Structures are given as structure tokens and as C-alpha cells.
Structure 1
Amino acid sequence: MSDLHPALARAEAFCTRYGLRLPILLAPMAGACPPSLSIAVAEAGGLGACGALLMPPPAILAWAAEMRAGSAGPFQLNLWIPDPAPVRDPDHEARLRTFLGTFGPAVPPEAGDATPPDFSAQCEALLEAAPPIVSSVMGLYPPAFVERLKARGIAWWANVSTVAEALAAEAAGADAVVAQGAEAGGHRGCFDAGRAEAEMVGTLALVPAVVDAVRIPVVATGGIAEARGAAAALLLGASAVQIGTGFLRCPEAKLAPAWAAALGRARPEDTRVARVFSGRAGRSLATAYVAAATAPEAPPPAPYPVQRGLTQAMRDAATRAGDVERMQAWAGQAAGFARAEPAGEVVADLWEGMRALLR
């Protein structure tokens, strides 16, 4: 990267710091980051990633081993900071089970008992896997864990959705912040789950505000899937771009075909933020299930992760049937730009387009 444009010079410095050839990062999407996708992105010069939310420690270590077997490129491992224990309401959950039974198999009462893997054990697995970068979402790692990361030379990136969160992350010792705009697919990294819908800051407004507020590098993410958006993010002050939905149609993502095809047809207005899959606010395709579950007469979703457990049978059945209208089809607002091409080609074309725009 010999270009003199300030945006490219800043990106070059970031890439040098983290062993990258290109400032293009795969987003750590829980459940949608097979090693094959990260290997392809890393081999093309970008950063691989794993959203490890639902993975027990052996699975985290296995993912990292497979990644390293396929590429010497860098990668990040990401964990959610745990939510407080949910408040349960058996009567309300019974109504939800009846409602969800109209979209899939009958939902047993114990389905709502779903719990994530043990967070402390996952943190130990991250230390054992020793990736170059560990990232957080939905809050900040405990100070003692941050100290252990830094003692082992592992960088910590904090996913943020507001300027206040970015300032808190910097004060807590984050090496970089990933500023996630409201256009992002799936769950956004809001520290306060209850304010997710109230603090829907778009990428175009969020990134420069965070850049001006903190002294550490800023990665832009949310609604970025092609060269114009990526170049714009660098012009706004970001040091790199992180892309999620834009990689989901690549064959290496191994996405359900119906979901991948629907992404290619989606316009920005064809997505919607709702809590009806997991109990946390997340942006998905505006499918028939989403429309029905957000209708005034539908029972409101249970808290996370109870809702995730209650919807599991429906989501599994939809995947088996290839029925995107009932799938948990996460999608950012730039989904229509996602290309059904090898991830390495997507990375190369993105970078070529970004360079041309920033000359």
C-alpha cells in the first residue's frame, strides 16, 4: 500500500500493526463463521473471525486449530459479555409456545431453559487458543481478563454502538473499537440491551463521531458490503472496515441456500429490527414469521436467551425445509450487495474498488 491518500495511509498503519495485507475484516458472526470463510478471507489478505457465543471451549479450540491449519493469516475470536439472568414468566412463555407451534413443531416447556455456554470457561479457551485479537460485544471484558489478554500479547477490540460506549471501551483498555452502525445485520453490540432500539445510530453518523472522541483506531461496520461504502468509511476516519452480511453469499460461508438467495434479492427496506428470534434486538429479513411475530396481536418475545430457546425448533425445521420465511435470516441493510462468489474474489474486488475511489 504505497498510496499517499491519508485514509489509505491510516489503513496501512493499522494493517502493519495487525499483520494484515488489506483493511478488510470478516465480522465475527455467531453461527455463520465456519473456518472455511475465515481461511478464504485471511488468504486474500483480510482478517478471519469467529463469533464464539454459542461454542463450548472444545469447539472454540477446534475452530482455531482448523483456521490455523488452513491459513497463517490473523483472526479474531469474539465473545458476548453475558446478560443478567432473564426474568421468567411461565404463563407468557406458554402463550409464546402456542404461537410458535403454528410456525413449526410443538415447543416443549423446557425449551425456554436454553443457556449459553459458561462464559468463564469460554474466556479460558480464548486464552488457550491465543489468537492475535480477541473482541467483545454487548459490553466490556472484566479488567482481570483484559490484563491476562495483554500479558499474553493478545489485542482486545471492543464492539460499540454509541460514542459513550466507545469512550468506556477506551478507558477500559481496548486497543481498538469496532463502531457498529444500526444498518448492521444480526445483533448489534449494545451494552444496554434495553436501549438497543432507542439508540439506533447509523454508520455514517457514528464512525466520525467515534473517531473524534477516541485516540485508538476505529473499525467501521454495519451496512458496508461494497467498495463505495468501504471507501467512505475510511474517509470518515476508520482504519479498516468489517463486513458480515456482504460475505454470507460466498460459498465458503456454507449458508442455507434459501437464506443466501434471499439476501441477493433484498433491498435495504426489506430488513427489520426485532426481538422475535432471540429476545435481543437483531436485524433480519422481514419474513412472514417476523411480520406475524411483531403484529400487535402476537405475544411479545421473551427475554434473551429464553426466546432463542423457544424458537429453536421452528428455526431448525425451517432450515431443513429450506423455508426462509421461518428462518433466522439475519441480514444487514446492504444485503443486496452481497455476491455469490468466492470470498477471496470479493475481498480483492473490494480492495481494488476502494483504492480506485481513494486515489
Structure 2
Amino acid sequence: MTSTQLGRAASFCETYDLQVPILMAPMAGACPSSLAIAVANGGGMGACGCLLMQPDGIADWARQMRTGSNGAFMLNIWIPDPDPLRDPAHEEKLRAFLGQWGPEVAPEDAEGAMPDFDAQCDAMLAAGPHVISSIMGVFPPSFVARMKERGIKWFATATTVTEALAAEAAGADVIVAQGMEAGGHRGAFQADDAARSLVGLFALVPAVVDAVRVPVVATGGIADARGVAAALVLGASAVQIGTGLLRAPEADISPIWADAIGQALPEGTVATRAFTGRLGRSIRTLYTDAAEDGPTPAPYPIQRNITKPMRTNATEIATTQAWAGQSAGLARAEPAARLIKELWSDAQGLLPA
């Protein structure tokens, strides 16, 4: 007889055509098809964060994925924020501050349209993934209906019990419970709530499991077998890993970023709005420290736009946008397929038989 934890994971794997209950986090800007292919070929679920991609790019990524693997994959998108409130005088102060850390920032650098959300949604549906996941809110009912018609499952990211209940009520098939330990952007439904509702994964997962009827995937600070096993004991059916995969060769991130991940202590990361205007967890650097005492970041995506010259020209960790979760130091520089197989094999050894 298998344990409750192993049985729950096995059921999830059967439902989503997986060999191991490990999902790749859909990290916008750090989800090349090569990494997703490796994860899927290792028995997990590959993923793509489509936030910054045009429809043709989404279609091309899905084609590459299918060329390299017949495994399951997920496409992810942000639910758009309301249009940002602009403050030209404050943006001028921000440009002057950022000019101390990189190239001079011109007023026009603040501009820049995001891809059309509706067109991205159409492209995701046309790509026909196993799963479409959301972050920063819930999909409108019309899009949920279109997903269901095509047999595509909806995984909704939630950072609180309240958000998890709202996502379940909106039709989510799975809740991805994101603890505050997670690297990259915090998935709070309201941007202003992100820093006020910092719930750790050990508190969040059992509370969400008890509150909803759908399966729960745990994400945030999971980078080794101990984290995988702990998440299942807490009631999760699977885990989602981001930072823990970024040192894999298939991730192809900059050596500066990869080295910083490998050396990071939990206290060496910080939740900051300094890069994009949305709260996200990164390696603590000279820039993030200075930004704490600098001008208040502009709303997303204005802050993202005006930090682009600095980020693009970064040649050292001080000014690199190096997203990383609190367990970054556990990330291993191993091929992703082998890594997730080993994580699951070792996690099973930690769970009751």
C-alpha cells in the first residue's frame, strides 16, 4: 500500500501525463524551449512564461517544444494590471538615480507598449498546451470557457488563501500556491498587496489544501528532494521549481546570474520593486540596497522600462536583474532531465512507503 503522499502524487501524474510530479516554473525571460524540453524529457512538465512574447513567438516556442519532446507543457500569462498612474516629475528623479547605475535614461525610455493580452491568449489557445496558467489574478470567464472547450486545464497561481478560493470559484483546475520564498515576481492579485501578504510556503500550502477542493501545487523555495518531500507531506500533489533549474546548462542564463545563484544564502535575496515596479525576489546587490533609500519605484511596467538600459548593459552582479528564490544556493549545475529524476527519486526515499 502506498502512502497518502505518494498516492496523491501518482494521481496527479496520471491526470497530467507526467512521470514525476515536478513542474518547471514558467519564468518569463528565462524559459527557453531547451530547458522545457529537458524537463519534459525527464518526466516533468515544461513551461513558458509568455508575458513579453508576441503571438508569433508563442507559436514558435510551442513548435520548438513539440519538436524536442512529446511531454507535457504549460503556457503562462500575467493578468494585466490597470494602466499605471504616471508622475513625470517623479520619473525624472528615477531617471537621474538610475543614470548612476548604468547609461543615461532618456524620457522616452519610459514608454513601451506591452504585447496585446487578448492576442496572446488567442495564441496560447492555438498552441494547444496541456495547461495554461495564470499569475497576478484570474482569467475572465469567457477565456476560461474557451480553455475548457479545448480540454486545456487552468493552473492558477495564488499567494494567499483568499486568492486561492477566488481562483477556484472562477474555475481553476489546480491552485499553484506560491510562497514568499519564490524567486521572480510575486503573484499577488493586487500589486499593492504583494508586500503586505508575505506568506511562507510552510504556512500557505496546508492552509490552501484545507480550503480548496482542487489539487494544489507548491512553489517557492523548493530546490532539493527535502523540499519536494516536505511539500507533499503538507498536502501538495506536485511541486513547481524555478530557481532550482536555472543552473542547468539548458537554462542558458548569464554566468553572472548563474554564479550568484550558486553562492546565495537565503538572506542573500531580497523582495524588491526596484527592477520592474512589481514586487519580485532577486539576489541582493549594491543596486537593490541603494534602491531601498532611493526614489520610490514607478509602477509596472514604467519601472521595468526605465531600468532596461541598466539591466541590458549590466556586466557584473551589482546591476544584474538576478531573480532568485531563498533556496537558490541549493540549485545544482546539472542537466535538467537528470536533476528532476534525481529529485523525485530521492524525495520518494524520504516519504513513507
TM-score bucket of the superposed structures, by smaller chain: over 0.9
Q: Secondary structure at the match of 2:89?
A: helix
> Which of 328, 332, 341 is equivalent to 2:325?
332
CA distance in 2, matches of 1:96, 1:337: 35
CA distance in 1, matches of 2:112, 2:230: 41
Aligned to 1:244: 242
CA distance in 2, matches of 1:269, 1:114: 34
CA distance in 1, matches of 2:113, 2:137: 18
Mark the runs of 5 or more structure 1 residues left unpaired by the alignment.
none
Q: Secondary structure at the match of 1:283?
A: strand
Aligned to 1:352: 345
Amino acid at match of 1:34: P
Mark the runs of 5 or more structure 2 residues left unpaired by the alignment.
none
Aligned to 1:158: 156
Amino acid at match of 1:135: S
1:10-43 CA-to-partner distances (Å, cap 9, x unmatched) read 0000000010011011000010000000000000
Counterparts of residues 56-135 of structure 1 (less than 5 Å): 56-135=54-133
Aligned to 1:343: 336
CA distance in 2, matches of 1:306, 1:268: 29
TM-score norm. by structure 2 comes to: 0.99
Aligned sequence identity (%): 61
User: Is 1:317 aligned to 2:341, yes or no?
Assistant: no
Q: Secondary structure at the match of 2:76?
A: strand
**Cα distance, 1:349 vs. partner?**
1.2
Q: Secondary structure at the match of 2:339?
A: helix
CA distance in 1, matches of 2:98, 2:50: 27
CA distance in 1, matches of 2:338, 2:328: 17
CA distance in 2, matches of 1:115, 1:95: 22
Q: Does the CA contact (< 8 Å) of 2:20 and 2:341 recur in 1? A: no
TM-score norm. by structure 1 comes to: 0.97
Amino acid at match of 1:91: A
Aligned alpha-carbon RMSD (Å): 0.7
**Displaced runs of 4 or more, over 2 A:** none
Counterparts of residues 225-264 of structure 1 (less than 5 Å): 225-264=223-262
Q: Secondary structure at the match of 1:79?
A: strand
Aligned to 1:283: 281
CA distance in 2, matches of 1:91, 1:170: 42
Q: Does the CA contact (< 8 Å) of 2:206 and 2:234 recur in 1? A: yes
**Cα distance, 1:164 vs. partner?**
0.5
CA distance in 1, matches of 2:140, 2:109: 30
CA distance in 2, matches of 1:216, 1:115: 36
**Cα distance, 1:243 vs. partner?**
0.2
1:158-214 CA-to-partner distances (Å, cap 9, x unmatched) read 000000011011111100000000000010110011010110000000000000000
